[in-house]
Amino acid sequence: NKKVILKDYVVGFPKESDMILKTSETMTLKLPAGSNGLLVKNLYLSCDPYMRSRMTKTEGSYVESFTPGSPLTGYGVAKVLESGHANFKKGDLIWGFTGWEEYSIINAPEGLFKIEHTDVPLSYYTGILGMPGMTAYVGFYEICTPKKGEYVFVSAASGAVGQLVGQFAKLSGCYVVGSAGTKEKVDLLKNKFGFDEAFNYKEEQDLDAALKRYFPEGIDIYFENVGGRMLDAVLLNMRLDGRISVCGMISQYNLEQSEGVRNLFTLVTKRVTMKGFIVFDHYHKYPKYLEMIIPLIKNGTINYIEDIVEGLENAPAALIGLYSGKNVGKQVVVVAHE
Ligand code: NDP
């Protein structure tokens, strides 16, 4: 059983060498007697930005820290090899929390989702049909409450969540602009995902001026994925009664101390609502989301891009690549093809 182990807690920017690949020959592919868990074969693993916070020892966070010396855990797609739980049986495909290893024993399978639609790529359950898809759905439709004709800005727009938010905004009749870190990503936003405009934030000295160029009348909705100086620039451009959906702040995850935000007074003057959310609180809406999204995937209304690497040995590089923008689209690691 090959596994990706966290060596020790990480300070600053994570490196590939913070994780090691270990092979243990001792694992017997069997559930312990009396277990009401599952033995699964992992197929796809999801690389997600929040995993950085789990590499630091934190208490009272919404997710537990990883344990140094043990495999990382995260979202994935797996096949049930043996089940001690009444809700699952051998051969079922599931998505949810699993280990960064070839085979895992999942002791509390209640939080897993059984995969019912298998006529779409299974890897989609790490993204558009899984946690990031639900994040875009809840974060945009519920937190942003979009109205036709509104001006929407999305940062980290080509990523797992951002590419969907932009397309949901177009479906809602909004004008949408995205920012991303390379020309290739900017082209994708405009040509593949249907954003009205897009720009490379790394080429803009003055983000406030860039936003004024794309939003001469200001921004009604900001879908916040990055934080830092982008948030400060957006605050200067919000319109009256605007909404900011605070999904994440990836530019801050590797800093020992977060950058300050200077322009918060805009919330007062422009009567802006800024609201954070965590997708975990919203999984009861998953069936409703699937009902909406599956037909949109099948009829080609929604486009979706994944960045797929093969092999657990390439998982550490894939994960840390998120923090330098190496991924183009949703970052997935293939552990095994079914
Ligand atoms: P992505 O697929 O978008 O990958 C991360 C991207 O972030 C990179 O490709 C890179 O793109 C961009 N990035 C990295 N570092 C920086 C930086 N310093 N400044 C600006 N951009 C940067 O990730 P996801 O779509 O999975 O996640 C997007 C956001 O949503 C994250 O903040 C994440 O934490 C958050 N999230 C929140 C959830 C919740 O429940 N609230 C659930 C899931 C995700 P580029 O080339 O454009 O720089």
ipTM summary value? 0.99
Average pLDDT rounded to a whole number, residues 183-204: 98
For ligand 1, whether the C-beta of 283 sits within 6 Å is no
Assess contact for 130 and 196: CB atoms under 8 A. no
For position 61, what pLDDT does the model report? Answer: 84
For ligand 1, whether the C-beta of 286 sits within 6 Å is no
CATH code of the domain containing 149: 3.40.50.720
Examine the pLDDT at 109 and tell me if it is beyond 80. yes
In this structure, the answer to whether residues 123 and 260 fall within a common structural domain is: no
Question: Rounded to the nearest whole angstrom, what is the distance from the C-alpha of residue 43 to the centroid of ligand 1?
Answer: 23
For ligand 1, whether the C-beta of 159 sits within 6 Å is yes
Assess contact for 289 and 134: CB atoms under 8 A. yes
CA distances from 178 to 48, 71, 140, 196, 221 (A): 20, 35, 14, 8, 12
CA distance 259 to 287: 38
**Percent of the chain's residues with pLDDT above 90:** 96
For position 59, what pLDDT does the model report? Answer: 82
Examine the pLDDT at 122 and tell me if it is beyond 90. yes
Return the closest-CA partner of residue 252 out of 68, 13, 32: 13
Examine the pLDDT at 303 and tell me if it is beyond 80. yes
- Work out the pLDDT band at 312, boundaries 50, 70, 90: very high
Average pLDDT rounded to a whole number, residues 66-83: 97
Q: What is the pTM of this model?
A: 0.97
For ligand 1, whether the C-beta of 181 sits within 6 Å is yes
Examine the pLDDT at 153 and tell me if it is beyond 90. yes
Range of the domain at 74: 2-127+305-334
Q: How many domains does the chain have?
A: 2
CA 236 to centroid of chain Cα atoms: 27
Q: Look at residue 292 and tell me if it is in a domain.
A: no
For position 27, what pLDDT does the model report? Answer: 67
State whether the Cα torsion 52-58-63-69 is positive or negative.
positive
CA distance 32 to 25: 17
Return the number of other C-beta atoms located less than 10 Å from residue 250's C-beta. Answer: 20
| Residue 18, both tokens | 């913070």
For ligand 1, whether the C-beta of 279 sits within 6 Å is yes
CA distance 197 to 175: 9
Atom of ligand 1 nearest to the CA of 277: 41
In this structure, the answer to whether residues 136 and 257 fall within a common structural domain is: yes
Examine the pLDDT at 111 and tell me if it is beyond 90. yes
CATH code of the domain containing 6: 3.90.180.10
Examine the pLDDT at 234 and tell me if it is beyond 80. yes
Mutating to test ligand 1, I would choose from 124, 185, 225 the residue with most ligand atoms within 8 A of its C-beta, which is 225
